[in-house]
Every structure is written in structure tokens, then in C-alpha cells.
Amino acid sequence: MTKYSFPSAFFVTGTDTEVGKTVVCALLTLGLSAGYWKPIRTGLPYTDTDWLRDHAGLPATHFFKETYLFAPHVSPHEAAKAENVQIELNKIKMPDYSPLSHLIVEGAGGLMVPINDNQTILDVILHLQLPVLVVARSGLGTINHTVLTVDKLRQHSIPVLGVIMNGQRHENNRLAIEHYAQVKVLAQIEPMSIVNRQTLLGSFEKYFGKDTNENSTNAFTSLASVHSS
């Protein structure tokens, strides 16, 4: 049994771009033997799905095709315009991930990244009706970005499962995020010198593996319900 009882499907968003969402998705996908889906992706030829498949070493059955895939490595709304495409929410449909026990859905950048003239990644989350795990940097600026992200999610009554910080450990920032955002920081994932199946599994076990404290086994579920209220 792991420390946290992850829901069967959840959305991973970032406080910004390049905060390590895909690495977090990789270790969670591998550790939970989950499915992975990024409905909107910009930047070809090498996608986040390709990166995760190469580094996690999972079979093709764990990966689901993007709904929208664009060549330009820019914001989704710009990439779509460049290719004369309109991103439409009703075309973004959850894949059937059975018999896998979990599905991890990765966003593009942060909540307010536009996907068209009127909608953002936040609208994608609302459309899919998924709880959200927030990935944040560990360093300077993270308090502001994380508090704003969590606050925006709560304004829309979206359950917040917690925050994962990426980078060198920064206890003061962790404590500040937990205090000002009133959310649990589930892990501070330190940089891996090499990212491969072995190190990803090791990180999952270190941060999300078996808990020696029997009283904290159901902490994730209780925190998710408290902080989504």
C-alpha cells in the first residue's frame, strides 16, 4: 500500500511551463502502472508522450493519443491558429483506460494557458471533471505562483489533491505554500542526475511508496477532501 490513495483519474497541472510536470507524470505513471494522456500538445517531432515512453519504459498500451497535436512549440492557441485549427472542448474525450487502474492527464503549461480565443487549460479541467495535482518549482517565485494556482482551482470548486515541488529542497517555501495556500505539499522531488526507469521507480518509492506510519495511510484522501472544500 502506498502513502497516498491516488484517485483513478486525475489531472496534473503546473504553476508555469517547464516546472517538471512531465517528470512527475513519468514517475507516477510508472509507479502506479497507470495510463498517460496529454490531450493538447505543441512542439514536434518529439512529444512529451515520446519522452515519457522512452524514459519510463512502459508498453504502448499505457499511452493514449493526443486529441490535438501541433508542430509549433508555442502556446496552444497560437499553435492552433498557425495550423488553421480550432481547439474545441467537445472533441476532448477521456480515453477508456481499462484495464489500467489509473489515468494521469497532463496539461499544457499552467491553468490560464489559452487554447482558443475564449478558453484555457482551466476549461479543459472543468470539461473533464477531474481532481488536480499541482506541480510547482521549489525556488524563488513559487509561493506566489502556487498560491494563485490553488486559489484559482478552488474558485471553480475543483478538488486539489496537493502540491508536488520540483528542485532543490526548500523547506521555507514548502511551509509557506502549506500555510498560505492551505494545501498539502505531498513531496519535494529533488533533481535526478539520470532519468530512466530505475531512477523514476526509485523516486516513486522514496516519495510515494509504503508509509511506516499506519496513521497516515489515509492522509491523502482526507487532505484532498479538506482542501477542496
Q: Which residues are catalytic?
A: 38
DSSP per position, 95-163: ---TTSS-EEEE-SSSTT-BSSSS-BHHHHHHHHT--EEEEEESSTTHHHHHHHHHHHHHHTT--EEEE
Alpha carbon distance 20, 35 (integer Å): 18
Q: Of all helices (H) and strands (E), which one includes residue 51?
A: helix 48-56
Paired residues of 178 in beta bridges = none
DSSP symbol at 192: P
